[in-house]
Amino acid sequence: MSRIHRLVPSKTAFFACDLQERFRLIVHSYPSVLKTAEKMVKAALIMECPVIASQQAPRAAPPGENPDASMALVDIGETVPLPLHELPSPILRPSWVPFVKTKFSMVVPEVEKQLKEWDTKSVVLFGIETHVCVLQTAFDLLERGIDVHVLADGTSSANGDEVGLAIKRMRDSGAQITTSESILYQIMRDSAHPGFKALTGLIREYDDSTRDSLQHLIGGRGF
């Protein structure tokens, strides 16, 4: 019998996986992924859900060199600008994020320690690439007994055809496949929630980009 996966804000963390400038030109529908991530980070502040962000093996320019615009988009490993600075540390995020990793999964010892301190029961997961870092993060979290909610409108890969299979693998392994808007209402649960007005305003603000994300990242993929 399947289990209902409830979300409680104080027990839920948002994972933003490897949203970096150097992937901007190669990942399928990357602007849509970024818009969803931006919305989720802003929602985290309203709902007081902690956020952990990662960078995958970023490469920096040699000392003293100023990279041109094309290099900045492809070679430099800086995290794509997201409103992470709006999240007060350490209340919503530890001071060491975005953290640099070489492991594909985001579940490194520092993250495991943080999740235990927060007593995290659920993780909302988005970012790139779906079939590599997102997939392995989901598997590691599931193995540790943490519910995983993957945002289908917030994840992609360089090869868009990899996405559907990876999402099916995560779903078959026990992850919940959902969308950004659905998950936000699921966390809120009640229109009497004190953050209702702010959160629904945020959702309306991102109506157009959410529609685009659904079309570009989910439309016709059959999952």
State the catalytic residues: 18, 101, 133
> Could you give the 3-state DSSP secondary structure of residue 216?
helix
First to last CA, the chain: 21
Task: Single out the residue of 164, 160, 123 nearest to residue 141, CA to CA.
Answer: 123
Q: In 3D, which of 112, 115, 104, 98 has the Cα closest to residue 37?
A: 98
Is the peptide bond preceding residue 62 cis, with omega within 30 degrees of 0? no
CB 170 within 8 A of CB 177: yes
